[in-house]
Structure 1
Amino acid sequence: MTTHEYTAGATPPLGAPRVRTEPAAVPAQAPAAAATKPGRDRYLDLLRSIALVRVVVYHLFGWAWLSILFPSMGVMFALAGSLMARSLSRPAWSVIRGRVRRLLPPLWAFSAVVLALMFAGGWNPAHDPDTGGGVWGVADVLNYIVPVGAPPYPAHAGSESGLLESSWAEQGAGPLWYLRAYLWFVVASPLLLWAFRRVPWATLLAPLALTAVIGTGLVTIPGETGNAVTDFAVYGGCWVLGFAHHEGMLVKVPRYLAISGSALVMAFALWWASGHLGSEGWDLNDIPLADALWSFGFVVILLQYSPSWKELPGRLARWDKLVTLSNNRAVTIYLWHNMVIMATVPILDRMYGLPFMDSDRAAAALDATYTLWTFVLVWPLIGLAILAFGWIEDIAAKRGPRLWPNGAKPKGGAPRGSHRAGTEAPSGDGHRV
């Protein structure tokens, strides 16, 4: 398994989305530092939706440059950090308990499907040498229930000629890195916010300093422990930037200074990346220090220009329902998008058996447009996943279940999925996006 955008690794191209990426994203009531009235900040909702789409596209095509164009994971962690800071006006334990409660039921539904497929394929964690086997191999399965560590999976499952190709388990479990990181950030947030309010600059820059130590090979922490610490360091700066946004610290910094400073940090990130390119080239998910610095500078610029919209303006208004839907179902989209991408392959392969596909010319045309058809098909399949599993997010939030909460108003009634009904769960760019 690679380390990032899923950990820091790029997702493989079509048919083999790499594990641990870009996105997900977490539907949540978006925090608004500058707002004077409670409610959602549609600018932040829009950012979360863009991050989710970018995660899906990244895992679909594997384009390394997407990690530069829009660092989804950094954006989502910053949005979640801002929301967490706002929520911590309440007792810390109740906030942590609420976040965990909203996160786990959607995870359990996902885990039930994935584990059932793994066990049906003959996988036995007690006898799997890749997981250590024995009692510890079985105990690791508990990470599918509470993601405090890395969930195990068979290195090879299915078959290249079957409905599920051999790396499906790795790809399916990939998004769970984000839930693990989110959970640890939530647990650490009361202490981080306490430190931020006393020594803001030290708390803000400490994760970048930690990344410079463990993300450059100066200090090496082996195994999944090293991956978890690296995740925490790389995205910790963005999480604390969310605190700074909510606390109003960013608006106190002159814009010219924030933008010019961010540009220098991002330039250094690209310079560092140029000398440490991995197998995926310019995929910053494989280069921890570059990823941390680029995401940090990018998020500073986005939050400096945060307009705190109550409604999406102008032409953006046409996307209002989709933005609302994606925010209300961010956990579902993030958890299931890799499985959905893999599902497009056997569906499209069936097209070769259609009567009008018996000529070489028709088959060649499908070969040439296969990736395009995958892109077209993945979105209605994500819609089906939302219908099948999205309502679990409502149950987890102690709300009545809704099939399609896009904010549309039923005839003669209140909105079915109002803008205020966001789920306070993790946002997800899969390790990565």
Structure 2
Amino acid sequence: MPASRPPCEDDRAVAVPAPRRADPVAGDGEPRHRPAGRSGYIDALRALAILRVYLLHTLWVTWLPMVFPAMPVMFALAGYLTAASLERRKPLRVVGSRLRRLLPPLWALTVVAVPLMLARGWGNDPDGGPSVLDLAWWVVPLANPQSSEWGGPFSLGLWYIRAYLWLVLLSPALWWVFRRWPVGALLALPAATVVLYSPLVHVPPTPVGDVIWSSAAYGTCWLIGYARHTGLLDRIPLAAYTLLVAAVGFGALAWLAEQGEADRLGRLAWGWTAVLVLMRARPRLDWLARVRWLSWLIAAINARAVTIYVWHLPVLFAAGALLSAAGVPAGKVATFGAGTVLLAAVVLAIGWIEDLAARRRPALLPPG
């Protein structure tokens, strides 16, 4: 597969499996292609995040993460939907349901990626082949799945699956703490993130360090999702909320201006700003019902969210390789076109796994 600039962690988003019911308190309209009880606003945000990450990794439009920091938004959406489930069902059932929706689409990638990497010499790597743990993380990604040099595109985007998995496992404990000390919990995680980033604490670049950092940094977004579900954000006076958002946003921009636009903490704080805005908003999207193709597309993307996410990077690299083999310059537009066709083919071929994971009747076309 051809080499390309690997996307940094803060540039990526992940699609989170759609729940059976969502956003029971929002007053959204219900488009024709969305099941009753589902929020048009939440589904549209998730679909927009998936589209944004695909466009970023295809066209490399570097300003997209600042316009719409999709990854923090997706963590917040996941936290919001998880809170809604935790309030209705037992914690073990909620965790089991989330894992059931997350892992089978990953396993579909695993059964293709691992044999291909082994066939391409991963086991004979002069630096050592994969260990048992390396292979285990492809089944249950408690750590970032490792790959061969050739198979890098298969694993580049899976850091988020790991981060999301840990937050799902921690979600009952986070919910227990949040229900008792909501303001303290909301302040504790961003404070911990800043401390972890500072010279006061050294977080080693190890699998354990990755889990600690991501659980604090993106757990902040997760808890803001909790705050949306419980109505805590709505109870803050609008003037005070506006000042809070402005303080976080201007602080993030000032930090980025000082440290550079690639600074991890500055980009994360900017993501928190977007999350605070979007999780407070409750727009009506009745107009979606009048645009049938768009409401179907949003519902279809949500129904195939994990498949699209885990496959889009290897598909884009494969599209570049095919274009080069055909003698066609693998420019951004050509890669976007070929990659979109290939990704659609992959979704049609194996996307039905998400139907089984969601206990729906498997279908070739995503249900809308």
TM-score, structure 1 as length reference: 0.76
Matched, 1:319 2:301: no
Residue equivalent to 1:254: 237
CA-to-aligned-CA distance 1:6-26 (integer Å, 9 cap, x gap): xxxxxxx99444365512112
8 Å CA contact 1:140–1:152 kept in 2: the answer is yes
Choose between structure 1 and 2 for higher RCO, CA contacts under 8 A separated by at least 6 residues: 1
Against the structure 1 CA distance between its residues 128 and 215, is the aligned structure 2 distance closer, same or farther, given a 3 Å change threshold?
Answer: farther
Shift of 1:310: 5.9
Q: Of the candidates 276, 279, 284, which is equivalent to residue 300 of structure 1?
A: 276
Q: Which amino acid aligns with 1:210?
A: A
Deviations 1:226-276 (A, max 9, x none): 222211122111100110111111111122322331122011112112222
| C-alpha distance in structure 1 between counterparts of 2:332 and 2:232, whole Å | 44
The 8 Å contact of residues 33 and 245 in structure 1, kept in 2 or not, is answered as no
Moved more, 201-210 or 35-44: 35-44
Match of 2:177 among 191, 195, 205: 195
Q: CA RMSD in A?
A: 2.4
TM-score (norm 2): 0.89
Trace 1:10-409 onto structure 2 (pairs within 5 A): 15-18=4-7, 20=9, 21-29=11-19, 31-32=22-23, 34-35=25-26, 39-88=37-86, 89-124=88-123, 129=127, 133=128, 137-154=131-148, 156-157=149-150, 169-222=151-204, 223-277=206-260, 282-283=261-262, 287-307=263-283, 309=285, 312=288, 318-352=293-327, 367=329, 370-407=331-368
Query: If each structure's helix is expressed as a fraction of its own residues, which one has the higher value?
Result: 2
Code of the residue aligned with 2:48 in structure 1: it is I
Q: How far apart, CA to CA, are the structure 2 residues paired with 1:183 and 1:320?
A: 29
Contact between 1:19 and 1:170, CA under 8 Å: does it hold in 2?
no
Number of residue pairs matched by the alignment = 356
Q: Residues of 1 paired with 2:66 and 2:146: CA distance?
A: 30
Structure-2 change in CA distance of 1:244 and 1:380 (3 Å): same
Say which SS state the counterpart of residue 144 (structure 1) adopts. coil
The CA deviation string for residues 43-62 of structure 1, in whole angstroms up to 9 with x for no partner, is 11111111001111122233
Gapped runs of 5+ residues in structure 1?
1-12, 158-168, 353-365, 408-433
Identity %: 38
- Determine the C-alpha separation between the residues in 2 that align with 1:387 and 1:233: 36
* One-letter code aligned to 1:399: R
- Contact 1:32-1:308 at 8 Å conserved across structures: no
Question: For residues 289 and 257 of structure 1, what CA distance do their matches in structure 2 show?
Answer: 24
Q: CA deviation at 1:63?
A: 3.3
Distance 1:190 1:292 in 2: 24
Letter in 2 for 1:35: A
Instruction: Render the CA deviation track for 1:330-389: whole Å, top value 9, x for unaligned.
Output: 00000000011112112222443xxxxxxxxxxxxx65x821121222222221111111
Contact 1:14 1:61 in 2 (8 A): no
Contact 1:31 1:41 in 2 (8 A): yes
For 2:231 and 2:214, the matched residues in 1 are separated by: 26
In structure 2, the gaps of 5 or more residues are: 29-35
* Amino acid across the alignment from 1:32: D
